[in-house]
Amino acid sequence: MAGMPLNIQRTRESGLVLLRCQGMLTIGPGTSALLESGREAMATPGTSGLLLDLSEVERLDSAGMGALVNLMNECGAKKIGLAIHGMTPRIKELLAITRLDGVLPCYPDEQAARAAFTSRERRAGRGSE
């Protein structure tokens, strides 16, 4: 059964870049698209964080999980925050089985993911007054 290739819609709000993923995050074009979009967002001056929305990802394989870990590591190296949200029950299950749910910065919804950035900025002394 063929699924939809990964499509990523990118929007920017202040220093946060929201990557809304739709389709299959699997070996090949899907993982390449995610890493390319993430790297482009990180290279944009003023980017302080990436919000990754997986709510419309219909399939995730080991290469896709590897791409998520790679993106997390690259964000960390550049001191850019990452928050992943919108995981389907199947993706949550896969991340739990592989124990990546304790490694990746996963949040139950977009509001919680955004709140993580707000509290991170306040702790770093960058919050708005």
Q: What is the pLDDT of residues 48-84, one digit of tens each?
A: 999 999 999 999 999 999 999 999 999 999 999 999 9
106 token code pair? 């996963």
In a domain, 52, yes or no: yes
Q: Is 13 exposed, middle or buried (0-12, 13-18, 19+ CB in 10 A)?
A: exposed
The pTM score is: 0.89
Judged by DSSP in three states, 54 sits in strand
Provide the residue range defining the domain that includes 56.
7-123
In a domain, 28, yes or no: yes
Residue 116 is inside which H or E element, if any?
Answer: helix 110-123
In a domain, 36, yes or no: yes
CATH of residue 77:
3.30.750.24
